[in-house]
Structure formats: structure tokens, C-alpha cells
Structure 1
Amino acid sequence: MNKTVLIGLITVLALPGIGRAENASVSYPSIEALGEALFFDTNLSKNRTQSCASCHAPENGFADPRGAASLGDDGASIGDRNAPTASYASFAPPFHQRDDGAWVGGQFLDGRAADLMEQAGGPPLNPIEMGLTDKAEAVARLAENPSYVAAFDSLFDQGILNRPDEAYSAMTQAIAMFERTDQFAPFDSKYDRYLRGEVELAKEEELGRILFFSEQFTNCNLCHQLQRSQIHPQETFSNYEFHNIGVPVNQSLRAENGVLTKDLGLLANPLVTDPSQAGKFKVPTLRNVAVTGPYMHNGVFDDLRTVVLFYNRYNTTAKARQINPETGGVFGMPEVPQTLATKELTHGPALNDREIDALVAFMKTLTDAQYEH
């Protein structure tokens, strides 16, 4: 058991009536095992067609490969944001405001869920996602499964499924515990093996690594480095801050879902009321970034190289660098231009093609072993 799982288990065991593993059901002998079953259970959606794994597919880096935004359980509803990867999500700190006033952490792209437990409770009751009416309906679905009844009774509290609020909380705890396991954060990419001295990076990958961590040449690590050391064995490549990087509207997505209003990002979080936070989104992890496209909060870019070119446009006035290679036209205007992170975006010189390709090559080394094919 790794450190993350151990900490999470200690937290759960500290809750009243939880963790009596010696009496656990045969089907689900641990909270993590129960959480795994729940993560893949389509019965927890209104029409019994969708599970957590539908939008966070294990074979696709725990992201949704189906498009820019996920399709709901009703087969018609389409969201307005790209489903973020659940890989390494357990490393995000609880949503909070620092002493300097900056908001950090949480789950979802606007941090509106304080932690993994709260996040797990959101989609089942979201009308355009899994679509259940309320917690009581969700718990009634759990009670249909005798193995679940036995597991909840033994792992949490006898008869807990008769108490919808407590049972729903227990369900989210189980899913969160599963998401804290090594399956979501194996740290076994080529980059990790490089840090352990097991492999060498190719010349292009090494150039990309140097550029990535050098504030003299790029702005990458201003937001995509959590640990102080460049060789920390548990670098998640996100500082979990919120920034507005000027992502344009995904017109194709809006044509599908019919959304007419601006996505205000962090300002859509009920805890945030300052207008200066509009248009900011949580910095995503770059772990598995090569296999979790499309990119940006609205899935507007399909290719990882386009993302690097988009950042690079802020550091050059060259007309050719303002062109989105996926559309052939100029990059669209920011949806919320007033709060653009100009200082961070314009840090460093413009990159040439070799340097852009090197950064992409380095980011591909962050792909976990199971997705390297």
C-alpha cells in the first residue's frame, strides 16, 4: 500500500463505525474494492447506462475519449467542459484560499468540490450527467445489490443503507478510496523510470525536459511544477492554482450543446464571488497528457502540439505563429479577456519548431506504462 492510500485509509478508519474490515463481505473485502465496483457500476445512473468510468475510462488515462465534452446518461445532454483526467487527482489539495488571496486545489475545473469525496457525489445527481433524482434514489439502487448491502453493513455500519444521507456519504468515501490507489497514480512512466536511473531519455526528450524546467526559456514550470526539486519522485506537474490562459470558445461544442453563456470558470464556484476570478481554471496535471486529449477546459484543441503553439503565440508577433494548425485560421479570442494571466503567459522568449517538438516529446514521457503503446 502506498503512502497516499495509507493516509486515506487512516482518515476513513477514524470516522465512526467505519473500517471493520475483519467483518467485510467476501465480494468486497475492503473499502477500495467496494469503491472500484461502484466506480464501474452503470446502475448508479438514471437509465443504467453510465458509470464514473464512462467519463473517466481507465483505458484512456481516466479521461473521456469520446469528445470535447461528455454525453449524459439520457443520451442527449452534452456538457460544456472537457472531463479532466482522474489520474493523480488524489494529489490535489482541498480547495482553499491562500494567504496571498489565490485560490488553490479542489476537484472539477473550477474547484467546486473540496476533495475527492465531494467530487464523487456530484455526477450521480447531475441532471446532464448520471441523472439520479436525489441521494435516496442512489441509495435505493445500491440496496438492489445484495453484495453491496453486505459490504456497506460490514465496512461502514449495520443498516446504513436505510439512512440515505449517511449511505451516500459512505458511497463517495469508497469511490474516493479507490481513486487513491496506485491504479490511478502508478508513477511508472518513462520519466519516472528515468528518475530512477532505469532508462535514458532520447536527445529530443532531454532537450524538452531542460526547456520545461528552465524559467529562462519557457513558462511551463510556472504552473506545471508542484515540487521544489526537479527530480522529486512524486511530481504531478500541476501547482493546482487557477489561471486564465485565454482559451477561445469551442464553437463546435457550443453548436452541439446550445450553450450561449460564457464559462466563468472559477467564478462559477459558489465559494468565489470576486469578479477578478472569472475565466480562470485549475491547472491540470500533465501526467498522461499525451493520451487524455482533447485539450483545454473545453476540449478546443485536439493535438498536444497545438497546445504548445497556443502558448507560444503570446511570446511572438510573427503572423505565422498566430495560426491554429487545426483550423487554418488565427487562434480565437479569449472567452474572458479581462483576467488574462499576461505576466505568466508572456514569460520567456518565443520557441522555434525544434524546441516546440522537444517539449511535446518530453510531455509524452509522462505517459504511464500501461498507455505507452
Structure 2
Amino acid sequence: MMRASVFCSAICLLLVACSEPKQTVKQIKAADVSAELPVAFNDPKALLGAQLFFDVNLSKERNQSCGTCHDIANGFVDKREGTMFGAVSLGSDMRSMGNRNTPSAAYAAFSPAFHQMPNGEYRGGQFLDGRATSLTEQAKGPFINAVEMALPSGASVVERVKENARYQEVFNSLYGEGVLSQADKGYTAIADAIGTFEKTALFMPFDSKYDRSLRGEVKLSPEEELGKTLFFSQQFTNCNACHQVSSSPLNSQETFTNYEYRNIGVPGNPNLIALNGHKTDLGLFENPLVDDRKQAGKFKVPSLRNVAVTGPYMHNGVFQDLRTVVLFYDKYNNPKRTTNPETGNIWNVPEVADNIDLTTLQIGPALTERRVDAIVAFLKTLTDKRYEFLLLAE
């Protein structure tokens, strides 16, 4: 299997060659994200961001980078052994674990800034609860999260960066002389460089079998075509109610998410409950900009690109298999779907039973086994070309 080091080596070879006031949600606009995507990989800030993204020195024990939990060889998710079956990630201290599954960093740049829509619902942002409005803000989080990279402050991250004389030279050139001597500005510059790297085509190639079929380069199989028809149907499934964006201010191609928030009744993960004790994850309601209890249990709708190779699934990694996820959705319309195939037991109760979006979930008739298989087959076509070899390892 191709490993992360292969990708990292290629990036390193290319590299050799070449504090804001807090906003309220009402002030944040959906257009507060750069529409110039993707950024060229030889963009100087992107090159700097690539180095920072893979720099393990920017963690407490100098053993973990952004690329550790967002593994470039595995769809930018964490596939390490010993991390609760991949449900959550291991911190720099090699003991701490959070309570949420690491979302993929791929295609994340297309999310609009976190904002409230006219209908009162929320949209956009980074993290599963949208608490970071941009990639730059998101990049600041893991460095100083006690269960992740665990440095004590943004200033300490800046000090780690300043240990490298070459970094100081490049930051002075790109962000202004002495930028790293000012902790707040220096930390923002570090996060901005990483965010710029995440806007390159490396994170958003749009070269899956689905994309290639749209360009006439390949043909989908009959089963994949059936799955595609079912997925985009407004009559036979509820998939596209949340996983299709009819128009995006950032890209004309389908990202397979509307960037909104939904509670779909996901059950708690027993392994995480045993590890961390019973602490209900309230999702969007834990976003500091949200004070509406009706948002409890809602999580950001993820992109389905690379979904077949980025399990486990749901905000807490409770499901290991993609087919299980499809069956979980079908249980809302199919009285025969009473059992979780991974446990052999009935589906566990929702972690947050209030605010479940039954209006959307109960769209469409029950699915036959053939249609379930077809939908899974179509979802596999959303895998970026460089990750298709991972499908063979299933």
C-alpha cells in the first residue's frame, strides 16, 4: 500500500525546488471565503503551508503534525492503529483522545463561512460544529487543543516555528518583516499559510470516476448508473436533500454537501462512551455563536467525496462500513431495517433524540438490497483517482 511518506517525499522535493476581534454570527457573511480556488501549488504561501502541515515539531512532544490526523495517503483522515478503530485520533501525548471523528481535509476549502440563513438555520464553517469560520481559523485549533497537538498557546506555536531560521526568513518575506515577533500576528500567519496549502489542487483534484464519467473519459457500470440515478432522485431516496449543492459561490462542480447542519439520529458510540464517560455531544449547539437549543444534535453535512475510503462514519465513528450507513438511513422508511449489521443488535437510540430531521429522512420508499448495493457502488465512484487503490483493499 502507498504510504503517507511517499506523498510527503514528493512534496518535500518540490519545496526544495522552489488577532482579529470576535465576530457575531450575524456579521459573518457566506462570501467571506476566497473564490479563487484552487490556489497554484507553487504559490509561495502554499509552499510554506505544506512544510508547516507536515512539521511534527509543532506539537507538544514533537511527534505529530496536521498531516498525522489528516493523512494524505488516506483521503486526509486518520487511519492509525490503536485509535479506537479509527473513530477518534490520538493526541501528541499518545494517550489523549477526543470524542469526534477526524473529518477529511479534502475539499474543505469550498465550505462557505459559518453564517445563519434567512430561515434561521446555519450553514458553512469548519469543524463538525462550524465553530471556525475559515480554513485559517480552523488551522489554529489543533495546535493548542489539549487532546491533539497540545501546545499551551498560539505564542508557543510561534516560538516553535522561530526555531527554524529558514521559516523566519520566509515569513518575513511573505507576511512582513518581524511578523513572528508578534505572537497574534505570527500565529495568524502560520494558520493562513496552512489554509492556503489546503486550497491547492492536492486537496481537490475532482478526478474521481464520477468526474471522469462526466467528461466522457470513462463509463459507469450499470450498477453505478443505477446508484447515481437513485442518489440524485427526489422520489426514491433522500440522499440529495443534503448531499447536493445546486450552486456554489466557490466552485461549479459538485461537492456532495449543502454545508448545512442536520440531526439524523446517530446513536452514541459505545467505545467512546466507555473511554470518556457518558458526555452527550450536542454538535452545533456547542458552537459558541449558537444559543438556540433546537440546534442540539446537529452536525455539519460532510462532503461525500472519498467517502468509501474515509470510514469510520458519522461524527463519532460509530459505523465502520459504508453499507451500514446506507442501511441506517433506510431504516427511517423501511420497517424491516431493525438491526445494525455490525453488531447484530437493534439500532441503538439516538445520542440526541430531539430535533431529528424526520421530514428529510422519511423522503422516499424503502430500498431493496439491489438498490442499497447500487447506491454504495455509486458512492465508491466519488473516490479521487489516487485513492482508488484503497477500494481494492476493502
Please, what TM-score do these two structures have when normalized by structure 1?
0.91
Number of the residue aligned with 1:45? 59
Number of the residue aligned with 1:307? 325
Say whether residues 1:75 and 2:91 are aligned partners.
Answer: no
**Contact 2:54/2:67 (8 A) holds in 1:** yes
Q: Which amino acid aligns with 1:292?
A: T
User: Over aligned residue pairs, what C-alpha RMSD do you find?
Assistant: 1.7
1:269 to 287, 298, 321: 287
Number of the residue aligned with 2:234? 215
2:187 to 149, 165, 168: 168
Per-residue deviation at 1:300?
0.3
Say whether residues 1:138 and 2:157 are aligned partners.
Answer: yes
Task: Give me the whole-angstrom Cα distance separating, in 2, the residues matched to 1:330 and 1:228.
Answer: 38
Task: Give me the whole-angstrom Cα distance separating, in 1, the residues matched to 2:370 and 2:43.
Answer: 52
Say whether residues 1:363 and 2:379 are aligned partners.
Answer: yes
- Partner of 1:209, secondary structure, is helix
Say whether residues 1:85 and 2:99 are aligned partners.
Answer: no
2:306 to 264, 267, 288: 288
Task: Give me the whole-angstrom Cα distance separating, in 1, the residues matched to 2:43 and 2:371.
Answer: 50
Structure 1 residues 168 and 155, CA gap change in structure 2 (3 angstroms): same
Per-residue deviation at 1:135?
1.4
Task: Give me the whole-angstrom Cα distance separating, in 1, the residues matched to 2:229 and 2:37.
Answer: 33
**Contact 1:8/1:177 (8 A) holds in 2:** no
**Contact 2:39/2:200 (8 A) holds in 1:** no
Structure 1 residues 7 and 233, CA gap change in structure 2 (3 angstroms): closer
Q: Which amino acid aligns with 1:141?
A: R
- Partner of 2:332, secondary structure, is helix
2:45 to 9, 31, 37: 31
Q: Which amino acid aligns with 1:362?
A: F
Structure 1 residues 165 and 324, CA gap change in structure 2 (3 angstroms): same
Task: Give me the whole-angstrom Cα distance separating, in 2, the residues matched to 1:114 and 1:300.
Answer: 27
Task: Give me the whole-angstrom Cα distance separating, in 2, the residues matched to 1:4 and 1:188.
Answer: 22
Say whether residues 1:153 and 2:169 are aligned partners.
Answer: no
Task: Give me the whole-angstrom Cα distance separating, in 2, the residues matched to 1:341 and 1:271.
Answer: 22
- Partner of 1:293, secondary structure, is coil
**Contact 2:68/2:78 (8 A) holds in 1:** yes
Structure 1 residues 100 and 37, CA gap change in structure 2 (3 angstroms): same
Task: Give me the whole-angstrom Cα distance separating, in 2, the residues matched to 1:157 and 1:363.
Answer: 45
Per-residue deviation at 1:217?
0.2
Task: Give me the whole-angstrom Cα distance separating, in 2, the residues matched to 1:292 and 1:168.
Answer: 30
Task: Give me the whole-angstrom Cα distance separating, in 2, the residues matched to 1:138 and 1:338.
Answer: 40
2:350 to 321, 328, 334: 334
Q: Which amino acid aligns with 1:187?
A: F
Say whether residues 1:200 and 2:214 are aligned partners.
Answer: no
**Contact 2:39/2:201 (8 A) holds in 1:** no
Task: Give me the whole-angstrom Cα distance separating, in 1, the residues matched to 2:37 and 2:247.
Answer: 22
Task: Give me the whole-angstrom Cα distance separating, in 2, the residues matched to 1:259 and 1:120.
Answer: 28
Structure 1 residues 286 and 97, CA gap change in structure 2 (3 angstroms): same
Task: Give me the whole-angstrom Cα distance separating, in 2, the residues matched to 1:238 and 1:199.
Answer: 24
Per-residue deviation at 1:254?
2.0
Task: Give me the whole-angstrom Cα distance separating, in 1, the residues matched to 2:43 and 2:162.
Answer: 18
Which digits, 9 at most, give the CA deviation of each residue in 1:49-89, with x for residues without a partner? 11101110000100111310011111111110000000100
Please, what TM-score do these two structures have when normalized by structure 2?
0.86
- Partner of 1:121, secondary structure, is helix
Per-residue deviation at 1:146?
1.2
Task: Give me the whole-angstrom Cα distance separating, in 2, the residues matched to 1:355 and 1:78.
Answer: 37
Per-residue deviation at 1:6?
3.7
How many aligned residue pairs are there?
Answer: 349
Task: Give me the whole-angstrom Cα distance separating, in 2, the residues matched to 1:295 and 1:9.
Answer: 29
**Contact 1:80/1:259 (8 A) holds in 2:** no
Number of the residue aligned with 1:297? 315
Task: Give me the whole-angstrom Cα distance separating, in 2, the residues matched to 1:260 and 1:346.
Answer: 29
Task: Give me the whole-angstrom Cα distance separating, in 1, the residues matched to 2:225 and 2:210.
Answer: 10
Task: Give me the whole-angstrom Cα distance separating, in 1, the residues matched to 2:312 and 2:226.
Answer: 25
Per-residue deviation at 1:161?
1.1
Which digits, 9 at most, give the CA deviation of each residue in 1:97-132, with x for residues without a partner? 001101000000000001101000000011111001
